[in-house]
Amino acid sequence: VQLQASGGGFVQAGDSLRLSCAASGLTFTAYHMAWFRQAPGKERQFVAADGAYYTNSVKGRFTISTDNAKNTVYLQMNSLKPEDTAVYYCAARWRNSAYYNVPDAYTYWGQGTLVTVSS
């Protein structure tokens, strides 16, 4: 199984980015997909999952979506802020798990893509 994340970069506050995560080696529709992030010196934090759940700090700015035909999950990030700076990870958990915001609930992880937002 491989989750390949991409799309990170260096942007200015207020800009947008779209992250992508292409999955291979698994039955994509059997898994819920999510994004987490980890800022320097901080624990990994839930960002978005299941097309519907978001951490409060990104609600209204970020949108998670999936393309089952491409086995890909996206994270559209708008109105970026310096506090969004982090390494972003995609993750997959088995569909019978309800713990969408718990890292330990996820079986597979991507390698991370760095997002840096400058003020």
CA atoms of 99 and 41, how far apart (whole Å): 24
Per-residue pLDDT of 73-119, as tens digits, reads 999 999 999 999 999 999 999 988 889 999 999 999 999 999 999 99
Per-residue pLDDT of 8-64, as tens digits, reads 999 999 999 999 999 999 999 999 999 999 999 999 999 999 989 999 999 999 999
Provide the 3-class DSSP secondary structure of residue 76.
strand
The dihedrals phi and psi of 71, each to the nearest 5 degrees, come to 50, 45
